[in-house]
Structure 1
Amino acid sequence: MKNVFIIGSKGIPANYGGFETFVDELVSRQQNTEIKYHVACLSDNDNETEYHGAHCFNVKVPNIGPAKAVYYDLAALKYCVKYIKDNNIDDAVVYILACRIGPFVGKYVKQLHKLNCKVYVNPDGHEWKRAKWNYFIRKYWKLSEKLMVKHADLLICDSRNIEKYIQEDYKQYSPKTTFIAYGADTSKSILQDDDEKLLNWYKEKGVQAKEYYLVVGRFVPENNYETMIKEFMKSNTKKDFVLITNVEQNKFYETLKNETHFDQDKRIKFVGTVYDQQLLKKIRENAYGYLHGHEVGGTNPSLLEALATTDLNLLLDVGFNKEVGEDGAVYWNKEEGNLANLINRLENINNDQLKELSIKAKQRIDSEYSWDYIVRKYEEVIYG
């Protein structure tokens, strides 16, 4: 039996973001019965539960602001070392998601190596580039990433571009890396076009099927909302731009509104969040096009979901996005007028071109990014 301890996600079942969904899929789609998963869960208690055969251990974390995530990962790592010792577990893998605890990880790696255990790390994306962090936090992230790379036995990168970056920037450590992408749910929505839930949502938001461009994601500067909104406003399309994102108490939203006056363009529609996954999937399916402006990070879950469901995808022309979309999408850059002109041209795209893009996008996701395929790749690495 191979024991695998996963820390760094908020826990399962998934109610949050990318890492949580990944762990949930890895556990619930498990194919190799010789693997036993142990998953850290952020909590206000120290209970232990089972979920799809995985041992879930809660980690009680005090509310200490930004340091909470670092505390959580370290507390979970300490638990893993103790559990492995107490249960005389041999040849386990501790898989750490993200690079939050680099300055502290060395001593735990030594302890785990003495117990004949390996430490794998998912370096995630370029967290140190994110605009939300101040100068000092960015410096910490970069240092932490460096030390995580130094001490890891294996780095599992969910983007070939991230793998290349790790190999180039940290070549002094000769890092051992492998590429396994993030996965996507490729099934269609269970909702029909005439479903009351969908029709009520359309009526409430003032939009119509195939008459809107869509974006889903966090409302942060590095996702290039400013460029997308400004360029959409310059375009001649009569379609709406529907933004599914949380902008409550968001300074960036207020700044952008004052700069662009997008609130005076009736096509720009901030519609809040959609937590019903089947409804969200149907909204994606019925979009005329999907706009994706992420330029920080590895394989982005919202991009995979868009390529799996939306016919026409307009992606920012950066390596992370091109390696996923390939020839199943169209691309734009941040030069003034570039995206607006692309939107104008796409008003007249013929059905054959649209169908070809849609088929290529779906085939790309089915062949390389389906969850069953991703789980199989992980199990090969874990048991290899």
Structure 2
Amino acid sequence: MKICVVGTRGFPEIQGGVEKHCEALYTAMCTQFDIKVIIFRRKPYAKTSPYYKNIQFIDLPSTKIKGIETVLHSLLATCVSIFQKPDIIHFHNIGPAMFSPLAKLFGIKVVLTYHSANYEHKKWGKFAKLLLRISEKIALTYSDSIIFVNKFQLQKSMPKYNKKYVYIPNGIPNTQPSIKTNFIQSLGLESKKYILAVGRITPEKGFDILIKAFAKINTKYKLVIAGGVETEANYYKELKSMISPDRIIFSGYTTGENLNQLYSNAAFFILSSRNEGFPIVLLEAMAYQLDVLVSDIPATHLVKLEENDYFRLDDENSLINGITYKIQNITRREYDLSHFNWQTIAKEVYTIYNNLKIL
């Protein structure tokens, strides 16, 4: 069976939730099943091409211009996919899936993974949001099977397509806490003396409200934000101007052992997002047994947390109270993460592929 994957920037070492999802899903799937997966990557982001069993990378031209990047690359990837004659084209997110009718025109089955309602993100203008809503309708109409990583998004999606819908959450990566501290020391950090947030530097991640709240708390703890800046340079400058530089560390896009050290040595973890599909970074923090403080949005209710783990969305005082409470009650926690296993998830997605192939 041959699968073409459209809608990710690629992997490895490429920032983004969809990118982490695809890396974990397809590496797990290709080690378990007799399947060939072709990943279409965007050349400006693809730096290395390591060997993965049964995975082929095709790197296509792309721009980094917001609003154009995804459309251009997805169109090219869909066209090239057709010439590959796959059994299935798997689109990740509603924007890339606007080209699903092309696949159907050539008799190719289509799977959509609906990661998030992108038109809810503040970074997009009116025209872009309209285009994303149109893309959503096209994607839901032409896909043969639709996977939602967020069950709440599934429940509010158009009921006329219910028979196509299936809820399969994101998984949790294998974690082994690091005993090293050289990276955090290079940032001027002490173990258990900083609060960690992880995510791309964009407005929907809510780092502005997080920094405003943290700036008003009298504490010796530092705030670390691990995430890269892509198209939101002005937003990044705004964030840096909100707080004294000796209280905050922007570590940039951080992966591998360096990210391992940040998770392993953090006091606790904060997710301040305004919008999420299913936040893999929250699962990562829980895997490291970190205490967590998260914004009260549907996506953060996909895991089982306590009432005092939430703060009201965009409520600065609620966030201040939450951070203060967590600082005064530093702890490590055990979570039940048995439902978020990538091996099991890979089997579920493969079953969808297999069922479509034999139709």
Instruction: Please give the range of the TM-score, normalised by the shorter of the 2 chains.
Output: 0.7 to 0.9
Contact kept, 8 Å, 1:3 with 1:37, in 2: the verdict is yes
Q: What is the alpha-carbon distance in structure 1 between the residues aligned to residue 7 and residue 229 of structure 2? A: 26
Verify: 1:33 aligned to 2:33, yes or no: yes
Alignment RMSD, CA only? Answer: 2.8
Aligned length: 347
**In 2 relative to 1, CA 274–40 (structure 1 residues): closer, same or farther, beyond 3 Å?**
closer
Verify: 1:135 aligned to 2:126, yes or no: yes
**In 2 relative to 1, CA 310–252 (structure 1 residues): closer, same or farther, beyond 3 Å?**
farther
Q: What is the alpha-carbon distance in structure 2 between the residues aligned to residue 111 and residue 247 of structure 1? A: 38
**How does 1:299-338 map onto structure 2 within 5 Å?**
299-327=278-306, 330-333=309-312, 334-338=314-318
Q: What residue in structure 1 maps to residue 324 of structure 2?
A: 344
Q: Which has the higher contact order (CA 8 A, sep 6+)?
A: 2
Contact kept, 8 Å, 1:43 with 1:60, in 2: the verdict is yes
Q: What residue in structure 2 maps to residue 95 of structure 1?
A: 90
Post-superposition offset of 1:67 = 2.6
Verify: 1:369 aligned to 2:340, yes or no: yes
Contact kept, 8 Å, 1:212 with 1:287, in 2: the verdict is yes
Structure 1 residue identity aligned to 2:343: D
**How does 1:1-384 map onto structure 2 within 5 Å?**
2-30=1-29, 31-43=31-43, 51-56=51-56, 58-61=58-61, 63=63, 65=65, 66-84=67-85, 92-101=87-96, 103-112=98-107, 117-166=108-157, 170-174=158-162, 176-189=164-177, 191-192=178-179, 195=180, 198-199=181-182, 201-246=183-228, 250-258=233-241, 261-263=242-244, 266-267=246-247, 269-273=248-252, 275-327=254-306, 330-333=309-312, 334-349=314-329, 354-355=331-332, 358-360=333-335, 363-364=336-337, 367-384=338-355
Post-superposition offset of 1:337 = 1.6
**In 2 relative to 1, CA 183–174 (structure 1 residues): closer, same or farther, beyond 3 Å?**
closer
Post-superposition offset of 1:313 = 0.6
Structure 1 residue identity aligned to 2:138: L
Structure 2 residue identity aligned to 1:250: A
| Secondary structure of 1:178's aligned partner | strand
| Secondary structure of 2:170's aligned partner | coil
| Deviation digits for residues 216-257 of structure 1 (CA, Å, limit 9, x no counterpart) | 112222211122112222234331112223358721233345
Contact kept, 8 Å, 1:313 with 1:329, in 2: the verdict is no
The alignment's TM-score, normalised by the length of structure 2, stands at 0.86
| Deviation digits for residues 87-114 of structure 1 (CA, Å, limit 9, x no counterpart) | xx7xx222111122455432431322xx
Unaligned runs of 5+ in 1: none
Structure 2 residue identity aligned to 1:347: I
Post-superposition offset of 1:208 = 0.9
Q: What is the alpha-carbon distance in structure 1 between the residues aligned to residue 123 and residue 35 of structure 2? A: 38
Structure 1 residue identity aligned to 2:135: S
Structure 1 residue identity aligned to 2:341: S
Q: What is the alpha-carbon distance in structure 2 between the residues aligned to residue 50 and residue 26 of structure 1? A: 16
| Secondary structure of 1:140's aligned partner | helix
Q: What is the alpha-carbon distance in structure 1 between the residues aligned to residue 260 and residue 59 of structure 2? A: 33
Higher alpha-carbon Rg: 1
Contact kept, 8 Å, 2:8 with 2:18, in 1: the verdict is yes
